[in-house]
Structure 1
Amino acid sequence: MTAPTPASDSVAITQPASRRGRWLLAIVALLVAGGLWWRLGDVGHAQKGPGGMGRGEQGPQPVTAAVAKALPLPVWFTALGTVTPRSLVNVMPRVAGLLQSVDYKQGRMVKAGQLLAQIDPRPFQIAVAQAQAQVEQTQAQLAGAQRDLVRYETLLGQDSIAAQQVSDQRATVAQLKATLDANKAALNNAKLQLSWTRITAPVAGLAGLRPVDAGNMVTTSGAVGAVTVANSGGGTSAGSGGGNATPIAVIAQVQPVDVTFALPQQQIGEVVGQLLHGKQLEVQAWDARNTKLLATGKLVAADNQINTSTGTLNLRAEFDNKDLALFPNQFVNVRLLVRTLPDAVVVPSTAVAVGAPGTYVYVIGAGDKVALRKVVTGAAYENLTQIVSGVRPGERVVTDGLDRLRDGSKVRVVQARQAMPGPVASGAHAGRPDGKAKPAAAGGAH
């Protein structure tokens, strides 16, 4: 028996290997085909909607909606204002002397005529006594001269003295009368100087921080050598060393208090016209964050010229400020009620969109299909916007989900809400149905 040759061994080894390769290729092909089938089936399923709709078909879009209503709508003009005291008085000494006492409490309300400080009155009391003595002396001299004149006139009638002596006596009496008048005036002046040692409040108001203490020498220019202190007017006051006057007290009249603000010239025509005709316009002062109503007042005055640098007109409103909610130099947000539109068509502000078509809303029509409708907007109040044209009362508008819609889309309203919880109040709280909500900025139609 002969041994196999090398060639026959090679053939025997190659044949099993070829069969294994074919099996591997078949398995890979099956895996690839299965993956493709699964992928195509998943894509086809994804192209159908929940109801089995095919590509390009969409179900109703869920949206929220509100009903447009015709309601009284207040029109407010807004501005940034500054609280200014009705009067700001720097109480200065009117005589010089030693400041004996400071009798007011800093940062507290003072009444008109209330004692603020006392200057040492003794030098002025002495001056009054001296002036009084001069008056009494002159009165005695005048009385003696008048008696002499009567006697001289009697002697002249008897031709016992010369007429010249009588004339001289008459001149003496007239001179003493003039001297008496001058002495009385000096006495009154001395009494006036004495009264000025009592420094009283010229107006009622809020006293600022005490700028000078008792024990200082004061003059009509203020305290001698007083240090620089801040005053309620926003500046500083210094003693004689600083070259500025230091008051005894600074009083700001804050009941009532004024708020000064400016409106652009495009808005002043309607405001000034009503003001000149005697109509009282309501003004509200809100805090810096526009979250709290501080006070309600009225418009009282307008400036007589427009600021050429800003194109605005300064106006002034008055507030009772009984609770001292407004403080001098405080910045507030001012809202001026110009008028109330009686039957304004309003929709929630979220229903109004601005895009390529312009300003528009989506109106829900028959079959719950929406129509893109261009609108002209007017005043705004809180979360409501006036529709001047484009929407009628009673029509439903989409308020949420506008970005998923197009003209003719079908919608499903998931939540409906009213455009306004109730009618707008009028009077002192016009534009605030509950008397607490703040009014939003308002403007003309655009």
Structure 2
Amino acid sequence: MKRSSGIAAVVTVAIVAAGGYFLLEETGRDNARAAAASPAGPIVPITVTVAEKQDVPVIVRGIGTVQAYKTVQVKSRVDGQIVKISFEEGQDVKAGDPLFQIDPRPYKALLEQAQAARQRDEAQLAGAQLDLDRYSKLIGSGFQSRQTYDQQKATVEALKGSIAADQAQIDTAQLNLTYCDIRAPIDGRTGQRFVDLGNLIQASQGTNLVTITQIKPIYVNFTIPQYANHHLRKNQARHPLKVTAYGADDTFKLAEGELTLVDNQIDTTTGTLRLKASFANLDERLWPGEFVNVRLQLSVRKDATTVPQRAVMQGPDGYYGFVVKPDLTVERREVEVVAQQDGLAVVGKGIAPGEKVVLDGQYRLVNGSRVRIDQAPPETASATGKAGSADR
């Protein structure tokens, strides 16, 4: 009886052990299948952007100074007292508009004096000419000597010379009288007035009375790196080159113009090329002496692939980015960046138009990471109507 009970106990233990083995094996298989079905690592929240195909301008940056189209320092050409001022400071004037008047009375007196001298000499010439005519008739009959005739002829010629000198004095007096009326030599805007009514000025001192500057149109002088010279010359031969001026913050657009001058040599001390652009400046946003940031558009890249600049990162081996695959995993791509400008990166290789590229959250990603796409913030960077750095 005792032997039968022992055998039963042994059989029971064996059955329990076998069941436990099969249970552990099945649990291990389930865990393995679960591990195979779920990639390793946590789900990373990201925002994405879509690579776009668009036309992007090829830009060269420079720093420039606004220069008036014309600048004239108005000075007096005669001495005298200012008796009239016909403009206000900061006033727009046209060429020929009156500005100052210098007391004309001394110059009127000189003019009248020169005119009187001419009348005197003309009267003397008339008398001398009559005597000469009489001498010429008498010299043949012997009633007049040749010497007297020659002397009278010389007197007539001297009086003619005096009349010519009198006329020159008259012309000078008339010119000085004209200089008493100082008028604007060009269209432009007057600046600060340096003399007041009643002041006595002398032409020899070269006193500046007022400065007039023409600001419509207006110039901008600027420089670009010398490496851009080849591309500049090549594109300038094809079409006029567009120049855009921005404010000191390099974001506020002031005006658009056209390149008008390329200097004939490169500055060897700075390695830059001097250029000049002309702007219509109808709204007067550009002001003489102002420092501006200038962007020279050389050409346009047609159908270029672009992504926001922060979607591309730089590592020890170059630029790279993360592309989101349909299964919500990411692929790390090596990227060729052709240019970066105004928050955009122009991609040559590595990203195709229409692909989703990680915009934020890249620093937690590795190749194959699982991601969750959150709503991306509104993008403000655009290549349309903007300009930026030159090709790398």
TM-score band by shorter chain is 0.7 to 0.9
255-264 vs 75-84, which moves further:
75-84
1:174 to 157, 161, 167: 157
Secondary structure of the structure 2 residue equivalent to 1:368:
coil
1:186 to 169, 186, 194: 169
| 8 Å Cα contact 2:94/2:186 also seen in 1 | yes
- Tell me if 1:163 matches 2:146: yes
Secondary structure of the structure 2 residue equivalent to 1:306:
strand
What are the ranges of 5 or more consecutive residues in structure 2 without an aligned counterpart?
Answer: 1-33
Cα distance per residue 1:287-334 (max 9 Å; x no partner): 212332221111111222222222111111111111221111111121
The corresponding residue for 2:389 is: 442
Structure-2 change in CA distance of 1:273 and 1:147 (3 Å):
farther
Partner Cα distance (1:367, 1:201) in 2? 76
Aligned pairs (5 A) from 1:288-327: 288-327=248-287
Which amino acid counterpart does residue 297 of structure 1 have in structure 2? Answer: G
The offset of 1:216, in angstroms, is 1.0
What are the ranges of 5 or more consecutive residues in structure 1 without an aligned counterpart?
Answer: 1-50, 223-244, 425-430, 433-438
The corresponding residue for 2:343 is: 383
Cα distance per residue 1:10-32 (max 9 Å; x no partner): xxxxxxxxxxxxxxxxxxxxxxx
TM (normalized to structure 1)? 0.75
Which amino acid counterpart does residue 390 of structure 2 have in structure 1? Answer: G
The corresponding residue for 1:71 is: 54
Cα distance per residue 1:372-414 (max 9 Å; x no partner): 1111212234332100122222222111111111112122323
Which amino acid counterpart does residue 442 of structure 1 have in structure 2? Answer: S
2:108 to 125, 134, 137: 125
- Structure with the larger RCO, 1 or 2 (CA within 8 Å, 6+ apart): 2
The offset of 1:440, in angstroms, is 4.0
The offset of 1:180, in angstroms, is 0.9
Cα distance per residue 1:353-384 (max 9 Å; x no partner): 11234211112234222211111212234332
TM (normalized to structure 2)? 0.85
| 8 Å Cα contact 2:312/2:319 also seen in 1 | yes
The offset of 1:56, in angstroms, is 9.1
Structure-2 change in CA distance of 1:103 and 1:419 (3 Å):
closer
Structure-2 change in CA distance of 1:175 and 1:151 (3 Å):
same
The offset of 1:263, in angstroms, is 0.6
Cα distance per residue 1:416-446 (max 9 Å; x no partner): 6999999x7xxxxxx32xxxxxx2422213x
The offset of 1:85, in angstroms, is 0.8
Structure-2 change in CA distance of 1:343 and 1:418 (3 Å):
farther
Secondary structure of the structure 1 residue equivalent to 2:251:
coil
| 8 Å Cα contact 2:118/2:166 also seen in 1 | yes
306-315 vs 265-274, which moves further:
265-274
1:329 to 285, 289, 302: 289
91-100 vs 65-74, which moves further:
65-74
The corresponding residue for 1:268 is: 229
Which amino acid counterpart does residue 82 of structure 1 have in structure 2? Answer: T
Aligned pairs (5 A) from 1:215-364: 215-222=198-205, 245-275=206-236, 277=237, 279-364=239-324
Cα distance per residue 1:93-128 (max 9 Å; x no partner): 101111112222111211111111111110000000
- Larger relative strand fraction: 2
| 8 Å Cα contact 2:201/2:207 also seen in 1 | no
| Identity value in percent | 38
Secondary structure of the structure 1 residue equivalent to 2:56:
strand
Partner Cα distance (1:322, 1:416) in 2? 41
Aligned pairs (5 A) from 1:11-90: 57-90=40-73
Partner Cα distance (2:231, 2:87) in 1? 46
Partner Cα distance (2:35, 2:348) in 1? 44
Partner Cα distance (1:320, 1:310) in 2? 30
| 8 Å Cα contact 2:57/2:387 also seen in 1 | no
Aligned pairs (5 A) from 1:391-406: 391-406=351-366
The corresponding residue for 2:26 is: none
| 8 Å Cα contact 1:258/1:318 also seen in 2 | yes
The offset of 1:260, in angstroms, is 0.9
| 8 Å Cα contact 1:347/1:419 also seen in 2 | no
Cα distance per residue 1:252-303 (max 9 Å; x no partner): 121111111111111222224444x373211111221233222111111122
Partner Cα distance (2:377, 2:197) in 1? 68
Secondary structure of the structure 1 residue equivalent to 2:327:
helix
Partner Cα distance (2:325, 2:345) in 1? 21
Partner Cα distance (2:349, 2:35) in 1? 42
The corresponding residue for 1:24 is: none
CA RMSD of the aligned region, Å?
A: 2.6
Partner Cα distance (2:193, 2:381) in 1? 52
Secondary structure of the structure 2 residue equivalent to 1:344:
strand
Cα distance per residue 1:218-253 (max 9 Å; x no partner): 01145xxxxxxxxxxxxxxxxxxxxxx431111112
The corresponding residue for 2:98 is: 115
Secondary structure of the structure 2 residue equivalent to 1:394:
coil
Partner Cα distance (2:220, 2:376) in 1? 42
| 8 Å Cα contact 2:81/2:199 also seen in 1 | yes
Secondary structure of the structure 2 residue equivalent to 1:170:
helix
